[in-house]
Amino acid sequence: MRQISVTELSTMLKNFVQNPAQNPANAPVLIDVREPWEWDLARIDGAIHIPMGQIQNKMDEIDQTRPTVIICHHGARSLQVVAFLQRAGFDNLHNLSGGIDAWSREIDSQVALY
| Catalytic-role residue among 9, 50, 55, 72 | 72
Give the DSSP per-residue string, 55-103.
Answer: HHHHGGGS-TTS-EEEE-SSSHHHHHHHHHHHHTT--SEEEETTHHHHH
Q: Which domains does the chain have, with CATH numbers?
A: 3-106 (3.40.250.10)
- pLDDT tens digit sequence for 25-46: 788 999 999 999 999 999 999 9
- pLDDT tens digit sequence for 59-105: 999 999 899 999 999 999 999 999 999 999 999 999 999 999 999 99
pTM score of the predicted model: 0.94
Give me the chain's average pLDDT, please.
94
Is-catalytic flag, 50? Answer: no
What is the β-pairing status of strands 29-32 and 3-4?
unpaired
